[in-house]
Structure 1
Amino acid sequence: MSEQQPYVKLEIENQVGYIEFFHPAHNSLPGNILAELAQTITDAGNNDDIKVIVLKSGGDRTFCAGASFNELININDEATGKVFFSGFANVINAMRKCPKFIIGRVQGKTVGGGVGLASATDYCMATKFAAIKLSELNIGIGPFVVGPAVQRKLGLSGMSQIAIDANTFYPADWAKQKGLFTQVFETTEELDEAVKAFAQNLCSYNPEAMKEMKTMFWKGTEDWDALLAERAIISGRLVLSEFTKETLKRFK
């Protein structure tokens, strides 16, 4: 497997399912990779050989730069827009419905949809390089699809702060104070050791108890299939606006 080819892969080690995604453009994810990621999470949730899931990305520097910019630029109708913005919605809903705890391993910066993925994990650990940004307002849309997941972790105050201040990377320690990250490590090596040890420890617990706990933690989100679809329609409409089209031209 070439390091420069996009991929989603699942590796099982001592009952821990490690799901890794990668794209050479700073782990910005096109629709086909997002669909594969959602399916892989669903499959891992149904796999009896897996007790705990770790979500991670390939590469050293960026956890996830959000959705594919090339696909975003080429949206010309609302139906295509809805499908595009449903990509991260489908992954977040797969994570929400997964009956197993998902541990996030965030090694570097994360933007837009990537913040949504980190927020949808059940327990998220990071390095000090894992600054976060919601940049959607910069191009004339907003973090509508990932908003519910981000707000659930950061609270309305924290989510609105980074959504409105769309130019700023907020440091990992800020994200830890707000409850997104549970621990922040100096190096990726320390992060990986901690994630592995934590996941192995969880494997010693009763799977039924963990499943019931996950259901409890996500109570109140049962409407997210419909909610995130509605949010995708809003983004799909806004991306066709003159403002956004003109803004995107400058990024080409």
Structure 2
Amino acid sequence: MIYHTIVSELKEQILYITINRESKMNALNKQTLEELADAIAFAGNSNEVRGVLLTGSGEKAFVAGADISEFSAYTTEQGEALARNGHTHVFNAIENCPKPIVAAINGFALGGGLELAMACHIRVASDHAKLGLPEVTLGLIPGYGGTQRLTQLVGKGKAIEMITTADMITAEMAEKMGLVNYVVPQTELIAKAEEILNKIKQRAPLAVASAIRAVNANLHKDEDGFEIEIEEFGKCFNTSDFKEGTTAFLEKRKAVFSGK
């Protein structure tokens, strides 16, 4: 797929995905979601990719929300389809991607933008970032998993407060609440995200994927997280990386993992 609203670049096993609609505050429109779905699918299936860094172009916005003009006249059925397609192909695909995805939040992360960041496995925010779910000011609620993921990250009380008041919070407050992992100056944002991914790159890729799968199972009511952990633990024993990791430990050297 040829991308028109995102930029995707693979460097040193990290796939850099930049939402490239700076004049529109990187708002999510249908085309952007389709291109994100394609890029995330590539990341999950490519042996060349060890991690993903997701950000927005410019310094004003990560993603300032969805493109309201595209759905302002939707019916109930169209609205449900919009949310369901987004869940399946983008937001859930990000959460369930076997490669770690780090969101570098470089400004406003509002509505669908915050939902996009929350779907990522790790979040780093610039110190001037502002985060919020303002959908109730439009007569809507978050439709891309925001009610669920925000509750998982910050708890029921804070989630209901943020969603029903539609208030934005600062990056500092988001860090205190557990909504983001780190807050850094804007000039250090990408470097911090890269630091995390470069550390993960040194670990066994299949074990990293198993860890993501097991942690996510805790959030799914139809799965037994302990059972998934046991299964994923067992699978690791049948990998070359397990043999390399244990051999390197016993030989007191650094392991070199192949992802096999």
Instruction: Report the secondary structure of 2:113's partner residue.
Output: helix
2:209 maps to 1:197: no
1:231-246 alignment runs, 5 A limit: none
Structure 2 residue identity aligned to 1:194: K
Listed as ranges, the gaps of 5+ residues in structure 2 are 223-260
What's the TM-score once normalised by structure 2's chain length?
A: 0.78
Higher relative contact order (CA 8 A, sep 6+): 1
Contact 1:65–1:111 (8 Å) recurs in 2:
yes
Match of 2:234 in 1: none
Contact 2:64–2:108 (8 Å) recurs in 1:
yes
Deviation per CA, 1:152-209, whole angstroms, max 9, x where unpaired? 222222211110111x2111111111112111012x2211121122211211111011
Structure 1 residue identity aligned to 2:63: C
Contact 1:126–1:181 (8 Å) recurs in 2:
yes
Q: RMSD over aligned Cα, in angstroms?
A: 1.9
Moved more, 48-57 or 192-201: 192-201
Match of 2:205 in 1: 207
Aligned residues: 217
Match of 1:184 in 2: 183
Instruction: Report the secondary structure of 1:218's partner residue.
Output: helix
Match of 1:86 in 2: 84
- Hey, what's the Cα distance between the residues in 2 that align with 1:92 and 1:156? 21
Instruction: Report the secondary structure of 1:73's partner residue.
Output: coil
Moved more, 141-150 or 20-29: 141-150
1:35-50 alignment runs, 5 A limit: 35-50=34-49
Deviation per CA, 1:103-142, whole angstroms, max 9, x where unpaired? 1100101111111111111111011111111111111111
- Provide closer, same or farther for how the CA distance between residues 183 and 15 of structure 1 changes in structure 2, counting only shifts above 3 A: same
Aligned-residue sequence identity (percent) comes to 24
Match of 2:161 in 1: 161
Contact 1:34–1:87 (8 Å) recurs in 2:
no
Match of 1:236 in 2: none
Instruction: Report the secondary structure of 1:17's partner residue.
Output: strand
Match of 1:229 in 2: none
Instruction: Report the secondary structure of 1:34's partner residue.
Output: helix
Structure 2 residue identity aligned to 1:153: L
Match of 2:19 in 1: 21
- Hey, what's the Cα distance between the residues in 1 that align with 2:56 and 2:73? 26
Moved more, 110-119 or 146-155: 146-155
- Hey, what's the Cα distance between the residues in 2 that align with 1:144 and 1:155? 18
Match of 2:30 in 1: 31
1:68-87 alignment runs, 5 A limit: 68-75=67-74, 77-86=75-84
Moved more, 151-160 or 177-186: 151-160
Match of 2:58 in 1: 59
- Hey, what's the Cα distance between the residues in 1 that align with 2:33 and 2:221? 21
Contact 2:26–2:62 (8 Å) recurs in 1:
yes
Q: Offset of 1:144 from its aligned partner?
A: 4.1
Q: Offset of 1:78 from its aligned partner?
A: 2.7
Q: Offset of 1:56 from its aligned partner?
A: 1.1
Moved more, 15-24 or 80-89: 80-89
Contact 2:135–2:142 (8 Å) recurs in 1:
yes
Contact 1:115–1:150 (8 Å) recurs in 2:
no
Q: Offset of 1:97 from its aligned partner?
A: 2.0
- Hey, what's the Cα distance between the residues in 1 that align with 2:169 and 2:154? 12
Structure 1 residue identity aligned to 2:201: C
